[in-house]
Amino acid sequence: MSETSGPQAAHAVHPAPQGFVRRYLFSTDHKVIAKQYLAIALFWAVVGGLSAFLIRWQLAWPGEPVIGSGLLPEAFWDGDSWLAQSLQYGSIPAEFYNKLFTMHGTIMVFFVAMPLLLGALGNFLIPLMVGARDMAFPRLNMLSVWTLAVASVILLISFFVPGGAAASGWTAYPPLSAVPELSEVNWGQNLWLIAVALEFASFLMGGINFLTTTVNLRAPGLSLFRLPIMVWFQCIAAVLFMLSVGPLIAGAVMLLLDRLAGTSFFIPSGGGEPLLWQHLFWFFGHPEVYVIMIPGMAAALEILPVFSRKPLFGYRLIVYATFAAGFLSFIVWAHHMFQSGMDPRLAMPFSITTILISVPFALMVFAMIATLWGGVIRFPTPMLFALGVLGVFIMGGLSGIFNGSAPADIYIHDTYFVVAHFHYTLFAATFFGGFAAIYYWFPKMFGRMLNDTLGKIHFWWTFIAFNATFLPMHLVGLGGMMRRIANPLNYDFLQPLQPLNVWISISAFVLMLGQLVFVVNFFWSLVAGRRAEANPWQANTLEWSTASPPPHHNFDTIPTVYRGPYEYSPPGVAEDWLPQHRPLVGGPAATA
């Protein structure tokens, strides 16, 4: 396909728009939009982290005034400011605790993980990796990020309306979420539903762009099986999201009608069915966790070959395994409902599909390990975080077997064992995967390198503190501690677990503190980091064939692709890498 015909022609080289507003706020440039997603994700990560701080404070020292609250005068706490109303003289009442974990979960999943892993990574990388000038629909792209911004504002406002934010968990089970009198939350829950529905709309639009761009705007020679795994996985995630979210958007509208228009879709006293919501929610919810997991894994899968100087082991196998996992993710949803009162005869079929899903993920893990074998492995920060994804995800996958087994889940369901399990998977994707990606693609995004020493400190701090926090949480869960309880000390049988809870909380604070190292590194490197070359890691994929940062039109000439993305140390080549776009006549690598 030549430069002047075909779909690429629609994206002929335009000059970058001038003026701050068109250039940075209402930009249609995928690279700017990716940064906007990144900014939204990092903002919400701070809010999500602060809520986690308060959660852990309360669980370690229930009822104690939050550290620092004593600095505010008595008169402040007598007042009727939002803070004084939420915290009673500095300590966290149960009502507020329920809001905290509800918003923590909502924020982390919908407003941190997705904007970071799909919004920022997908937007930035897909056009660059397929050799396109921009997304297929740049204006739609702008609309999707602005829809997310509106959703963010609505979610933020929901904290401050009378009655406060939603408090029925990120899963919002009715009737608790359907009847304001039952949860004592009124507009907070309505706004929560609206914000989440808008978020869905935003990522639906984003997904359309991901798929269309990948299908239509690939550079000449870039056949599907020469696409980097990141592109594959972003597209698979987009498909999973599209196919699963529809029923839940319908469910969200029904729940809103129950709350506002007097319907009873989910309220039994009016003839409704609460379990219907759970089915709609988890039919979406399980694919959704893979929507987060898969791009997080993709970051690791891109990075491991680069720093092992080896081809990714079993590229096609990994793609097929992910298809299989994606397919299976649509028939496992009821594993969240083993104890919900659905027909117990359904449990074992769902248990079988759930445990089966471990096979494709195991294949992915084995392929990652096989990639390391025989490599020449270096350990710069991106590699450390990529290995972190691998290690932490193995733990999360293994603990998932307990939850997936319906009879074991009788005991484990809704305990801290589950909380530990899903943090091992979600944190692996969101933060280990997210940081791996940021350290790796920061030079491409901003044209400067992050400091590697600070990066290593950040990695080890995060890795150790993460495990110190979440490993013992399994034990607390086995001890029987339920999730979503504001005061474990209310229960005699949980008293012996309290020292462990204190340990977990202190480790969590250390974990959060360690993120300051990243914040400092990020902002310092942004202005004073070493300038990055086009290809600082000697990597093969197309994004490294253009300048760092890339020009507005991405590529001065659209590259032609000759081979797959992971030709490291190929025979017949002097260097230990062979970029996708470098012509080479003859030789085995050229035909890969």
Chain residues that interact with ligand HEM, rule: CB under 6 A: 49, 52, 55-56, 101-102, 104-105, 108-109, 112-113, 169-171, 419, 423, 426-427, 430-431, 469, 483-484, 508, 511-512
Phi-psi group of 262: left, alpha or beta (phi > 0 → left; psi -120 to 50 → alpha; rest → beta): left
**CA torsion angle 540 211 149 518 (round to 10):** -20
Q: Work out what residue 351 binds among ligand HEM, other proteins, Cu ion, none; the CB cut-off runs from 5 to 8 Å by kind.
A: other proteins
For residue 167, give both structure tokens: 């408090």
- As a whole number of angstroms, the longest Cα–Cα distance in the chain is 81
* Contact with other proteins (CB under 8 A) among 34, 116, 387, 449: 387
Rounded to the nearest 10 degrees, the angle between the axes of helix 94-106 and helix 30-60 is 150
Q: CA 339, 340, 341: angle at the middle one, nearest 5?
A: 100
Rounded to whole angstroms, the Cα distance separating 417 from 400 reads 10
* Contact with other proteins (CB under 8 A) among 63, 70, 341, 551: 341
CB of 385 to ligand HEM, least distance (A): 14
* Contact with other proteins (CB under 8 A) among 19, 73, 162, 571: 571
Count the alpha carbons within 13 Å of 63 in the hemisphere toward its beta carbon.
4
**Binders of other proteins in range 407-436 (CB under 8 A):** 407-408, 410-415
For residue 106, give both structure tokens: 């909502």
Check residue 423 for interaction with Cu ion (CB under 5 A): no
Q: Work out what residue 499 binds among other proteins, ligand HEM, Cu ion, none; the CB cut-off runs from 5 to 8 Å by kind.
A: none
Stretch that binds other proteins, among 283-291, 372-380, 447-455, 538-546 (CB under 8 A): 372-380
**Binders of other proteins in range 259-288 (CB under 8 A):** 268-269, 273-275
* Contact with other proteins (CB under 8 A) among 399, 505, 545, 546: 399
Check residue 503 for interaction with other proteins (CB under 8 A): no
- Contact criterion met (CB below 8 Å) for 456 and 381: yes
Check residue 46 for interaction with other proteins (CB under 8 A): no
What distance, in Å, lies between the first and last C-alpha atoms of the chain? 21
- Contact criterion met (CB below 8 Å) for 117 and 45: no
Q: Work out what residue 286 binds among other proteins, ligand HEM, Cu ion, none; the CB cut-off runs from 5 to 8 Å by kind.
A: Cu ion
Site string for other proteins, 228-257 (x = CB under 8 A): ------------------------------
Check residue 377 for interaction with other proteins (CB under 8 A): yes
Check residue 286 for interaction with Cu ion (CB under 5 A): yes
Stretch that binds Cu ion, among 88-96, 260-268, 286-294, 303-311 (CB under 5 A): 286-294
Check residue 458 for interaction with Cu ion (CB under 5 A): no
Closest residue by Cα to residue 574 from 560, 589, 556: 589
Closest residue by Cα to residue 367 from 305, 299, 434, 441: 305
Check residue 63 for interaction with other proteins (CB under 8 A): no
Rounded to whole angstroms, the Cα distance separating 578 from 584 reads 9
Task: Give the residue closest to Cu ion by C-beta.
Answer: 286
**Binders of other proteins in range 283-312 (CB under 8 A):** 308-312
CB of 73 to ligand HEM, least distance (A): 30
Q: Work out what residue 154 binds among ligand HEM, other proteins, Cu ion, none; the CB cut-off runs from 5 to 8 Å by kind.
A: none
- Contact criterion met (CB below 8 Å) for 114 and 292: yes
Check residue 372 for interaction with other proteins (CB under 8 A): yes
Cis check for the bond before 536: say yes or no (omega within 30 of 0): no
* Contact with other proteins (CB under 8 A) among 1, 204, 370, 506: 370
Which helix (H) or strand (E) element contains residue 133? none
Count the alpha carbons within 13 Å of 186 in the hemisphere toward its beta carbon.
5
